[in-house]
Every structure is written in C-alpha cells, then in structure tokens.
Structure 1
Amino acid sequence: MCNDYRLMVELASVIEEFEHLKIKIRFPEGRPNIEAREDIKITDTAPIVRSVEGERGAGELVQRRWSWPSPARKPVYNFRSEGREFASNRCLIIADGFYEFTTPKDPKKKRKDKWLFKKVGEPIFAIAGIWRETDDVGEAFTMLTMEPGPDMAPYHDRQIVILERDAWVDWLDPTVSAKPLIRPLSGRALSVEQVG
C-alpha cells in the first residue's frame, strides 16, 4: 500500500486551489513552511487540512506526523475504509503524486520497481484521511484505502482514496456521509510513470 508520496507545490498554490473550491483555509499554528518534497515517508511530518468544527467550507492547514503506532507498535499509515462512516477527525492529505512499488520482472534486479501516479490535469489532489491524538506521538494522520480502481488494479490490490474535487468540502463536513464520497476514480484519471 501507499507508503511514499510527494508534494512539490508551494503553499500559495495549495491555498489557491482551496480558494477555487470556496474552502477557507485557516492557520491555527501560523503559516507552515512547506518545502517541496519528492518523498514523504511514514513518520514524516506533512501538511493536512482538517475540518473546523461547526463550520462548513472551512479547514485548518496544519502539519502532522504520517502514521500513529498500533498496539503492536507498528505504524498505522493506511486504514481500510470499507463499511466505516468516519463521523469525526476527517482530513485531506495534500499531494501531487504518490508511489507504488512492484516486484521487478527481471529476477536479477534487487530493488522493486517504483511507479509515480498523478491525477491527470490537476496540480494537486486530496487523499481522504483521518487523524487522531495519541499519547506517544501527539496528533497523527493516516490515509484511507479501498479496492483499486482501473488505473491502480494492474499495480496493486488496494489503493488510497483520492477524492474528486467536488467532494473536498463534503469530506471536511463530518455530518455528510463518507460512504458515497469513497469511490474509485474513473479509468485514465491517473497517469503513471516508472521512476525507479
């Protein structure tokens, strides 16, 4: 499952994308210094936009750790979405690409093949996530997963939930049911290229 993604877009461009969708972004901890990052890995700190309680069309942009420790101390970086409503602590994980890894066809090759997926025609996209407070690491987030859509099925048997733009404001509103928002993208919505 997704254990590496990227965000190469500047903060001003991220804010602009949310403004186009009429989502007001707040910075409760001040404007974060977001640097372009080719690889955001498990336990790294990264930007998320989370709901503002009682305010539809608003979100807080904060930086949090990706993954919280499970009872067995393993990082929870992906979380199955099937059959769940997520009635609180929803967030949007901002990205412009994510990676999946496959076993190479050449048995002599030791490293897995690395594939970069991007949303066609969009500078950024939002991955459906949830966050929680933990005793160990403070607040942390995880990505929701589902059955793969047509673009992902040749590479993996699961995929992260990428929300359509018109669903971003609804995802940030926990009174809106999560189930109709969690659906695969149509075919050819993601571009893919081998990068390693």
Structure 2
Amino acid sequence: MTERKTRKDAVRNREALLAAAAALYARSDSPDEVTMARVADEAGVGKGTLFRAFGDRAGLLRALYEARLEPVARTLEAGSPESRRSPEARIRELLDAVACFKLDNRRLAAAIEAGGGSSSPYESDHYRRWHEHLCDLLAQALPREDVSFVAHTLLAATRADLVEHLVGRQGMSRDELRTRLATLIDRIIRPEDDPTRNGP
C-alpha cells in the first residue's frame, strides 16, 4: 500500500512539475529565467523532488518538450486523408505542425535549441525523426536532389530563434509565418510552379 501511494505521489509530482515548468516558460521573457528553484516553487514541491524526477534541468526540458510534441507526432505518424495521397502535401503538413509547435512553445523550444536539452538540437531524438521522415517524403517529391540537405534547410526555417525573431521582435503574425513557410516549401518542392523563377 505504501509503495503504491509512493508511486502515485511520484506521478502526481511529475505532472505538477511539468505543468509548472510549462507555465513558467509561457510567462517568461527569456528561457534563462526559468530555473529549477522557480519550477519547484511553482509546483509547490522541494527541489529534491524535482531533481529526483528529472535528474537535472536538461532532463526536465527534454521531458517537457517530449510531452508537448504530441500534435507533431500525430502528424508524423498519420497525416490527414488529403496529405496521404501526396508526399508534397505531407511535407507541407509536417512542417506546418512543427512551426505551430514552435509558435505555441517559443521559450521552451528556444531553451532546447540553445543546448538546454542536449549537446546539440540536431542530435535530439525528435529532430532525427523529423529529418528522417522529411527525407523519405522528399525522396518521393525530389528524387534527384540531396534530400538530407533539403530536409535540414526546411527544418531550419522553423527554428525557435527564427520564430521568436520574426514573431516576437518583428511582429509577424502566426498566419503570415505559416503562409510564408508554405510558400518557401512550394518553391523548393515545386520549382516549376514558382512564377519568380526565370525559365530557360
């Protein structure tokens, strides 16, 4: 009975800590403002409980990031009925989901990409999944291109620091950012439809 209660307490504490960290990142002006002490205070637990649950700040960031990645994961795994008929549509849908995730989690994503969750954002599990899936889709849409480089380039357009610069500092709206990203994707994967290109 005591062991079961301890496990329930641990689960409850973990959920409270993740919720507290998410709230702090949403309210903060900078990812650096969110310290382990502030997260513990916000959740109403001791710092020892926080460190036991996640190990360190990087562990907390990774756990929170993965917990909030579900919409992107659903897009990656399934896609809409329309997009399943076309690799180009899947590419647009996946990158739009990534961009929306970054828009909804700007401070958290910035903290992860600044190295708070791993040695490099390009070595994280979720980035590798996104890149690998994009490569598969691009190989169908652009069979003669270096799809690995193109996938990295498209994902770079959704980096949190760029999203923060465009939306947070330059005032670009969410809809405008998504529209411009879609236009960029189309120019890369359907260059023959780009009216700005000069034909031979």
TM-score normalised to structure 2 length: 0.26
Structure (1 or 2) with the greater strand fraction: 1
Structure (1 or 2) with the greater helix fraction: 2
Identify the structure with bigger relative contact order (alpha carbons < 8 Å, sequence gap 6+): 1
